[in-house]
Amino acid sequence: MDALRRLILAAALQYGVPAELLQAVCRLEGFCGVHRPRSSQLYPRDEQPDRAAHALARWYRYCGSWTGALQYFHTGETCQNRPCPRRRGHHHRRSYAEEVFYLARHRWL
């Protein structure tokens, strides 16, 4: 098990986030894609799984579902499941949450 997978698993267990979803988010974002508050700077690489898991757990409590939590994590504005206008190609019809679930289900990690 590599260092990234250990960090992801530890963060998922700590915050109660399904490990497959956190792993898929990290894969889809190029890592975990977590920016510092009110900044365009990313957290250091080794802190990103923990920050992403913390945010997903928080948005899960707020939105009441993993679909909503993933959408809020991605957009920062809504729990509503909707297609992502920033995605191109075959992904353009899927929402961010649907893409994460697809990756998690098919284990393309």
Give tens-digit pLDDT for 29-83.
Answer: 766 655 555 555 566 667 788 888 999 999 999 999 999 999 888 888 888 776 6
Give the pLDDT confidence of 73-109 residue by residue, as tens digits: 888 888 877 666 555 555 556 788 888 888 888 865 4
* Total domains in the fold of the chain: 1
Measured between alpha carbons, how far apart are the two ends of the chain, in Å? 13
Please count the CA atoms within 13 angstroms of the CA of 98 that sit on its side-chain side. Answer: 12
Its pTM stands at 0.78
Residue 43 pLDDT: 62
* Domain containing residue 61: 3-34+41-106
Q: Which helix (H) or strand (E) holds 29?
A: none
95 forms beta bridges with: 83
CA distance 93 to 96: 10
Give the closest residue to 4 by CA, choosing from 32, 35, 29: 32
Between 28 and 68, residue with greater pLDDT = 68
CA distance 33 to 51: 9
**DSSP-derived secondary structure letter, 47:** G
